[in-house]
Amino acid sequence: MFTSRAATLLFALTATALPAPKAQAYPIDCAILLCLAGGFPASAECMAAKATMIRRITPWPVTPPLQLWNCPLGLPAGFVPAPGTPDIRLGPDGLTDEVRGYRDAIEIYHIRTSPPMSSDDPPGSWRDHTQRGVYLEDGSHRWVNASLRHGPEWLAGSDRIRRVPIQVCVRETDNGCWEWRVSHYENWPGGGFWGGYGRVVAIRYEDHEGRKHTEFVNY
């Protein structure tokens, strides 16, 4: 059952886009938005929407999973909401707060690692070329430098990434460290990263009940 948040989203779409409140009636990005809000229920329309979202993060280059500039959300001139319906206010990106909330809750990481470039690097070390996708205030999308090592814990849900405890010595003796303690955790490449090279695209999104869903695409 949809919450009031999801109902407001559906109203915004039906009032600003096309008249029929069905996912298949909208351009694919409108369908992705509606189905994402519902946690991608098992319908033919939402399966197609999810397949499109995953396909966008599978090829090279990785493209934004949700492209709302392809979903017509602009209000027609002179539009007045019907009595008793929520007010619709659009931001500088042309989106309502509800729609923007779903978009901004999307976390996407393009994880790439490579072996050390120098013999001076310690054994077992690796280089991190990870990027994170972000949506800007005007609604556009860009990639920024990020870190697998210091990234969020949920990235370790991939079978190619492991969560590693980093220990520090808290008590030393003349013979070495007497007591170790975990200071923090880091994400490290795991199985499937052959010779230090590896690539994974990880995405996490939120449905209308606030539940998080993750998907991993391995290369």
- At 34, the pLDDT band (50, 70, 90 cuts) reads very high
Task: Determine which of 69-73, 160-164, 201-205 has the lowest per-residue pLDDT on average.
Answer: 69-73
> Which tops the pLDDT comparison, 95 or 201?
201
Place of tokens 């205030």: 137
Asked, for residue 217, whether it belongs to a domain, the answer is no
Name every residue whose Cβ is closer than 8 Å to that of residue 196 and which is 6 or more positions away in sequence: 113, 114, 115, 116, 126, 127, 189
Q: What is the pLDDT of residue 123?
A: 64
Asked, for residue 188, whether it belongs to a domain, the answer is yes
Q: What is the pLDDT of residue 25?
A: 46
Task: Determine which of 152-161, 169-178, 206-215 has the lowest per-residue pLDDT on average.
Answer: 169-178
Q: What is the pLDDT of residue 16?
A: 44
Structural domain count, the chain: 1
- Rounded Cα–Cα distance for residues 165 and 182 (Å): 6
Asked, for residue 152, whether it belongs to a domain, the answer is yes
Asked, for residue 94, whether it belongs to a domain, the answer is no
Asked, for residue 177, whether it belongs to a domain, the answer is yes
3-class DSSP state of 50: helix
The tens digit of pLDDT for each residue in 119-157 reads: 777 766 888 999 999 999 888 999 999 999 999 999 999
Asked, for residue 171, whether it belongs to a domain, the answer is yes
How many residues belong to the chain?
219
- pTM score: 0.80
Number of H helices, E strands in the chain: 4, 8
Q: What is the pLDDT of residue 97?
A: 85
- Domain of residue 140, residue span: 109-200
